[in-house]
Structure 1
Amino acid sequence: MGYCVAVVGATGAVGTEMIRMLEESSLPIDELRLLSSYRSKGKILTFRGQEIEIEETTEDSFDGVDIALFSAGGSTSAKYAPYAVKAGAVVVDNTSYFRQHKDVPLVVPEVNAHALDAHKGIIACPNCSTIQMMVALEPIRRKWGLDRIIVSTYQAVSGAGARAIEETKNQYRQVLNDGLSPLEVTAEILPSGGDKKHYPIAFNALPQIDLFTENDYTYEEMKMTKETKKIMEDESIKVSATCVRIPVLSGHSESVYIETKEVAPIEEVKVAIAEFPGAVLEDNPKEQIYPQAIKAVGKKETFVGRIRRDLDQENGIHLWVVSDNLLKGAAWNSVQIAETLHQRGLVKPTHEVVFELI
């Protein structure tokens, strides 16, 4: 018997990738329920050759659902996830709403799958920029420990949604086709839709992702700090982030500096990363081999390169980390969590099959 799986936010950028990842998944699925807002109700999407009509998300949408993947915004998760749990589903939430809840595991399966064992119905998927950094650093932490992390991100506009992608493309058209200055183009979304001012991203780099907090770090930067400590179960790790939006459509890149508790031989670090699940070592400076965003798009793995010792700090190491933010940074990590729940026997199919997917 397979599962009844629901995708909440099925028509969004991450939701559509969730559906694609489920198509490729080893998770046994008998029924897929696609849920969205009222605006998308009645649209048809295809899953494994079967046409499925999108339903509006309501309090009663989760009857018979075993696993519910949420990616429709924090307010939607806050409202409907409790109803899904009450109906007997295990929720995997891709928004930020539950990440810092004490009783909600924050999971990157390659790093802390054991945290799933204590779930109480809801599991949180970390921020996209945090996920790829965890995959790159966990093999180092396990062997040599981690004392400090300083990360600067180079994040793609797809992290801000489909409208941000279109705005970026339109700004380039205005400059290249219409002859406008980059300062004259239309900017209504970035760096943060909820902030007072908006700036062009075309031919630009914006050192702001999300709103600023009272300590002058942005919420995105604070997410990376808090989530790293929670996932690695170590409040003593010192973490500082600067998150920057760049005019790349998809694929987040990160420059990561770490200080290990024990001095780590660089060649052994490379071997540890190459052998770690979900990580791919691309590190050959002589042949100009290193991770690139355009090569990571469409792939589930996290790519790590430019690994080198700091020139002044014996226990300091620099890395360059790249991943597809819509896949490993969101959709694939969520589906991986569902697969891991299945593998660990933490969710069992209980619904009555309505139809079987081939």
Structure 2
Amino acid sequence: MTLVTDPTAPRIALIGATGAVGSTLIELIEERGLRYRELYLVASSRSAGRQIPVGGQTHEVRSLEDFDFGLVDIAFFSAGTSVSRAWVPAAVAKGALVIDNTRAYRMDPDTPLVVPQINYAVLDRPPGSGVIANPNCSTIPLVRVLQPVERRWGIRQVVVSTYQAASGQGHQGIEELLEGTEVALRDPDADLPSERFSPPLAFNVVPFVDELQDSGFTLEEQKMVQESRKILGLPDLDVTATCVRVPVVNSHSEAVWVQTQEPVDRAELVGLLSRQTEVTVHDAENRAAFPTPLKAGHPDHVHVGRVRVSPHNPRGFWLWLVSDNLRVGAALNAVQIAEYALARGFLSGGVR
């Protein structure tokens, strides 16, 4: 992380700084050398007063309820949808550019929903709402591979099944999985913890992520449909999803079936995906190679494997995707949004 005295460098606040995504944001801002002249770590009153080392300095966590957003130019929100709905308007009113990692503003027509590698053009000017929305952790890797396919062959339909890690429920989700695993190993008949995951996730697979909707789909499944359409600019895209929680600590996986308008050649598809920014195709040369959540490779890449064009339908193919949901699916995308906004001069004349 790069602390500077340059008056044009932004003052940054991380709301939800003690959570899983907030902690990852701190790591990434430091790793990528994002310049700043002030950094404020903000969380609930329960976490206020904690001391967190950042970039060789110790920062005290501030209480959100008492924080003055007039102190900052960029505010990253990663503390949950209800917190964003309550506090983002206050941040915007004080002149901060908000990058929100919840679903609170994703479908707001005045708020761009951005994956920089895909639809950076929507950031040609500052957002009218003062907010840039970060997409869902499963949507980001999906659209990263769908856009080049749409441009080359056109897409008729997408069917996706996700395999989502416990870290999608933050530190508490990870702790509950690990605790439940230890309990089950000691006593297979014991009652397992199920505060974050119900039924318990340890040694289990739960095909139900987020709230049930009237349609019978869950909110997570609905988000993937709506967000993919908005990001890709395809309001009628035929996409459907089944979202599943699996007993993996971190990194989401997805099995994706795509039907295209024109026949697809596998070698061309592999080459096309391999040329995408921060995408690694594991079976480009060895078809037996594939990524897994445990050892996918570079944590900032979307990892692709099991590339299979159907022998019975050359307009259909399968992909297997793996990506770090805390980085690629959340914090990294948010930092890249900030980098792009700064490069476009969004804060020129506004950095105080």
**Deviates most, 90-99 or 57-66:** 57-66
Task: Give secondary structure in 2 for the equivalent of 1:244.
Answer: strand
Aligned equivalent of 2:4: none
Superposition deviation, residue 263 in structure 1: 2.0
Superposition deviation, residue 203 in structure 1: 1.5
Per-residue CA distance 1:197-245 (angstroms, 9 max, x = gap): x212111110000111111100000000110000001112101000000
Matches within 5 A, 1:80-95: 80-95=87-102
Unaligned segments of structure 2, at least 5 residues: 1-7
Aligned equivalent of 2:191: 185
Matches within 5 A, 1:323-338: 323-338=323-338
Task: Give secondary structure in 2 for the equivalent of 1:38.
Answer: coil
Aligned equivalent of 1:46: 53
Aligned equivalent of 2:262: 262
RMSD after superposition: 1.7
Equivalent pairs, count: 343
**Contact 1:58/1:80, CA 8 A, preserved across alignment:** no
Output the CA distance in 2 between the equivalents of 1:265 and 1:78: 46
- Taking a change above 3 Å as real, the CA distance of residues 329 and 15 of structure 1, as seen in their structure-2 partners, is same
**Contact 2:45/2:65, CA 8 A, preserved across alignment:** no
Q: Give the TM-score taking structure 2 as reference length.
A: 0.93
Aligned equivalent of 2:179: 170
Output the CA distance in 1 between the equivalents of 2:285 and 2:211: 37
- Taking a change above 3 Å as real, the CA distance of residues 298 and 314 of structure 1, as seen in their structure-2 partners, is closer
**Contact 1:285/1:306, CA 8 A, preserved across alignment:** no
2:347 counterpart of 1:347: yes
Per-residue CA distance 1:119-151 (angstroms, 9 max, x = gap): 121010000000111112222122222221100
Superposition deviation, residue 77 in structure 1: 0.7
Output the CA distance in 2 between the equivalents of 1:169 and 1:285: 36
**Contact 2:44/2:65, CA 8 A, preserved across alignment:** no
The residue type paired with residue 191 of structure 2 is: V
Percent identity at matched positions? Answer: 39
Output the CA distance in 2 between the equivalents of 1:256 and 1:267: 18
**Contact 1:92/1:124, CA 8 A, preserved across alignment:** yes
Output the CA distance in 1 between the equivalents of 2:10 and 2:349: 5
Output the CA distance in 1 between the equivalents of 2:324 and 2:294: 9
Output the CA distance in 1 between the equivalents of 2:60 and 2:250: 28
Aligned equivalent of 1:143: 152
Per-residue CA distance 1:280-329 (angstroms, 9 max, x = gap): 11115846311111124771111111111123322111000110000011
Output the CA distance in 2 between the equivalents of 1:164 and 1:238: 32
> Which fold has the larger relative contact order, with Cα–Cα distance below 8 Å and residues 6 or more apart in sequence?
1
Aligned equivalent of 2:109: 102
**Deviates most, 83-92 or 305-314:** 305-314
Aligned equivalent of 2:279: 279
Output the CA distance in 2 between the equivalents of 1:12 and 1:149: 33
Output the CA distance in 1 between the equivalents of 2:59 and 2:139: 33
- Taking a change above 3 Å as real, the CA distance of residues 96 and 282 of structure 1, as seen in their structure-2 partners, is same
Aligned equivalent of 1:314: 314
The residue type paired with residue 263 of structure 1 is: P
